[in-house]
Amino acid sequence: MATDVKVPVLGESITEATIGEWLKQPGDPVKADEPIASLETDKVAVEVPSPVAGVMGAHAAKPGDTVEVGAVIAVIEEGGAAASAPAAAAKPAPAAAPAQIVAPAPAPAPAADDESGPPPLSPAVRRLVLEHGLDPSSIKGSGKDGRLTKDDVMAAVKSGAAQPAAAPATTPAPATAALPATGGRREERVRMTRLRQTIARRLKEAQDTAAMLTTFNDVDMTAVMEARAKYKDLFEKKHGVRLGFMGFFVKAACQALKDVPSVNASIDGDEIVYRDYVDVSVAVSAPNGLVVPVIRDAQDLSVAGIERTIGDFGKRAKDGTLKMDEMKGGTFTISNGGVFGSLMSTPIINPPQSAVLGLHRIEERPVVRDGQIVARPMMYLALSYDHRLIDGREAVTFLVALKNAIEDPTRLLIDL
């Protein structure tokens, strides 16, 4: 008996997806609810679980194909090869029966090896592994079920922990089929993922629609760094999450947005929509690229609540378990390029939002304090905004309010 595997409901207004990769191949044993395929939607990657236990049957679509919600993409043979062996043995065997019985016997062995072996690699991770010539089995995966992520591979490259891939022990190919060992010029064409296509389209729409401008400021991180160093152990012990910088910036941004409401507003036709709440979109890294989940009603959360929410988003982004609804409806975005080493950037707004705050790396720079040149841990801030709605005066006022709150965190407690 075969059971159809269908594309699940993907969220409101999402009617189709793209096959990202097959996690199980025909003949592989599968367990009930075990992921067998990865689908890419406009915003997230979604895993398709097996509805029953059995053996993977034929694929009805290949990676890169677009499939609609409810479409059959594969079948699961219940019992599969395991059930067919006794049946074959029960039938009267002709003279060649021993050979017929022995022939399929090795088939389950590779399947068992596949199940207990390393999890499959995503296309992006596979490219990185090949580019750097690494053995993926020597890298510890942090993703779901121990899968490798792009961050795992890059961390292994930087630390030198990964082993080089072993040379394949195969018969040498004919000389005419061999690629040049050195000096070759090769190109690779890889189809853009649905997520990357959506990102490209929306960013271009933002440039075409909004009158974008970026205003810069810098902030002395001394006070926040001292507070973090002093309280991080107690904070983690009490709240179960590490104290980072984003909690301070989200809290300070909420306070500054209250003082400059146009930065939290949006344009709808010929009307301006002002809000008395702040839903902060926070860019976090996922295996397939950056995703932007939303912290709802951030203005009502404590620093601990903000850090817990961000920590949960980061973990589930790596596992690929973020939900569609968690990435909709933000009113203001904070993007921290500093974690990748960025010194300065001009971030692009995420329509229909009207502004995005870019954070960057912290580095010691000479500044003047009380007539003396001293070294201070400084960070550049960048606010990109829609000039149709936000004037330069309002953008600068917002950045100054944010700067004051970060340089003197007491202001966050007494609402200054």
Q: How many H-runs (helices) and E-runs (strands) does the chain carry?
A: 11, 19
The Cβ of residue 255 has, within 10 Å, a number of other Cβ atoms equal to: 19
54: alpha, beta or left, given left = phi > 0 and alpha = psi -120 to 50? Answer: left
How are strands ordered across the β-sheet holding 54-59? 2-6, 72-77, 54-59, 29-30
Catalytic annotation on 387? yes
Closest to 260 (Cα-Cα) out of 354, 360, 359: 354
Cα-only R_g, the chain: 27
- Distance between CA atoms of 94 and 397, rounded to whole angstroms? 89
Q: Annotated catalytic residue: which of 239, 391, 408, 415? A: 391
Q: Annotated catalytic residue: which of 145, 387, 408, 415? A: 387
Using CA atoms of 322, 325, 328, 334 in order, give the dihedral in degrees to the nearest 10. -40
Helix (H, G, I), strand (E, B) or coil at 255: helix
Indicate if the alpha-carbon torsion angle 54, 58, 59, 60 is positive or negative: negative
Catalytic annotation on 319? no
Residues annotated catalytic, as ranges: 387, 391
